[in-house]
Amino acid sequence: MQFGLIEMWNAMGAVAKTVAILLVFLSVVSIYLFIERQLVFAKARRKSKQVAPKLADLLKKGQVQEALTLSSKKEFNGSHLARVTAAGIHEFFEGKEANLSLEEQVETAQRGCERAATIFTQELKRGLNTLATIATSSPFIGLFGTIAGIINAFRGMALTGSGGIGAVAGGIAEALITTAFGIGVAIIALWCYNFLTTKIDTYGAEMSNTSSQIVDFFVRRAEKSP
């Protein structure tokens, strides 16, 4: 018996083939989610690079309303820094209109920044639960195929009435293939998950830093006011 991919596929039972197809599908899903999230992250980075210097310049000049208008534009909705800035300024103005004390206005702005950061972080995490599920379940799916392959090996022994290698080779190969395939898919999904999680942590730190800068800006602005 030859052990090429086509020969091994033809020798596999229905259960093992189903497992192999499922694992192929899961690997495609993992790669798709990784690429899709990378595009979202790249958009957030690109938009933030465009708007961040402009916002910093406007705030430095004290043009808060202009900064709110700029950061609220639809074209910068994908920017994590613009979203946090817009939320902080908006909540500060809301607190001011409600005649809150200065301290309460600053606290309101801070909470607004934190809410915006939390919402954006959840948007960035979209699909990561699926990757985590694929990473943890793929080895067990492969193990299911392994069990099916071992059963086929014993069935081959029963049909031939012999325990020779020829009787069990197909089933053992089938078992090993599904095991290796399951582990391979799990490795891909886990790598994608860890890579994306690290990037999300970086974006979270940037949003936290922006939130702190917005709060400090309002504190300094209040201290200069009579």
User: How many domains does the chain divide into?
Assistant: 1
| Residue 183 domain-assigned (yes or no) | yes
Query: Within a domain: residue 80?
Result: yes
Q: Which domain holds residue 53?
A: 5-219
10 CB-contact burial (10 Å; exposed 0-12 / middle 13-18 / buried 19+): exposed
Across 169-198, average pLDDT = 85
- Render pLDDT for 21-68 as a digit per residue (tens, 0 to 9): 899 999 999 999 999 999 999 999 999 999 989 988 888 888 888 999
Quick check: is 168 in a domain?
yes
Residue 113 located in a structural domain: yes
- Residue 170 falls within a domain, yes or no? yes
pLDDT of residue 47: 92
Separation CA 104–CA 222 (nearest Å): 12
Q: Is residue 226 part of a domain?
A: no
Question: At what angle are helices 102-124 and 165-224 packed, to 10 degrees?
Answer: 160
End-to-end CA gap in the chain: 91
C-alpha to C-alpha distance for 174 and 65, rounded to whole angstroms: 67
pLDDT for 157 equals: 65
User: Would you state the structure tokens that stand for residue 177, as one six-digit string?
Assistant: 């293939």
Lowest mean pLDDT among 31-35, 60-64, 115-119, 167-171: 167-171
Give me the pLDDT at residue 220, please: 79
Buried-state track 180-192, b at ≥16 Cβ within 10 A, e below 16: ebbeebbebbbeb
In a domain, 225, yes or no: no
- What percent of the chain is modeled with pLDDT above 70? 81
Whether the predicted pLDDT of 12 surpasses 80: no
